[in-house]
Amino acid sequence: MKTVRKNIVEITKKAMKALFSSIDQTMVTGKRDLALFTLMYSTATRINEILSLRIRDIQLHEKNIHNCIYVMGKGSKRRTIPLMKDCVNIIKSYIRQFHGDKPTENDLLFFSSHNGNKVKLTQEAISKRLKIYARKANGICAEMPPDIHCHNLRAARATHWLEEGLNIVMIQKLLGHENIATTMNYVAVSNAQKSEALASLEDNVSKSAAKKWKKVKKSSSLAELLGLKTGK
């Protein structure tokens, strides 16, 4: 049976600032959490995608150009997500402190130490950390829901991208969605924003169609234009 889709939890940019300000960066765990949640929000990645990242999956250059992460998403599909300057600086600082000047390429980017080994963090542990910060942030900014999940950060980033004018098709690719309808139902947007998103999608389709029409010969038949084979 079909289930009713739950309403998306809307998290404003102001609420996100409160969330990050609630992280105690004087603590080692806080420094790790700041890097982890900054990267998760900035790239709109799934929690497992972030926790599965290894040093080799992140590209950081001195001139802050072409910085990105390579994410293995659902269906073992790999996608590239660019990193903004502020996020890059935080990740660079994190790597220096937690991995040293010569990090091992195969090491997990975010890890927990166990018997001298770097092991993968659990989703449950990170979710608990996020809830702690969300409750603190709620005391600073009422716009931050006190009980959120890691997936809410992904939806928040997608929504903020749309608010900033990013094309809905590009958001779909960044999120790794197969269907544009999934992306449209994914973000918390107003009717006006949905109209703008659909307009940008229509614009992309029109451009694609225009390229195809330029290739059409005057002598082409209707069947040929539709891509149908015709018998001689």
- Considering 31, 32, 46, 157, which one is annotated as catalytic? 46
What whole-number distance in Å separates Cα of residue 43 and Cα of residue 160?
12
How many whole angstroms separate alpha carbon 173 and alpha carbon 175?
5
Rg of the chain's alpha carbons, rounded to an integer? Answer: 22
Active-site position among 54, 135, 149, 151: 151
Told to judge if 186 belongs to the known catalytic residues of this protein, a careful annotator would answer yes
Point out the catalytic residue in the list 74, 77, 120, 173.
Answer: 74
The residue type found at 60 is: L
Of 41, 94, 133, 186, the active-site residue reads 186
SS3 content of the chain, % helix, strand, coil (to 5): 55, 10, 35
For residues 175 and 145, give the distance between their C-alpha atoms in angstroms, rounded to a whole number.
Answer: 23
74 is catalytic: yes
Contact predicate 163/59, CB 8 Å: no
Among residues 32, 154, 157, 160, which one is catalytic?
154
Tell me whether residue 99 is one of the annotated catalytic residues: no
Q: Exposed (0-12), middle (13-18) or buried (19+): which is 23, by Cβ within 10 Å?
A: buried
Q: Determine whether 154 is an active site residue.
A: yes
Active site residue 151: yes
- Selecting among 31, 32, 129, 177, the annotated active-site residue is 177
**Active site positions, annotated:** 46, 74, 151, 154, 177, 186
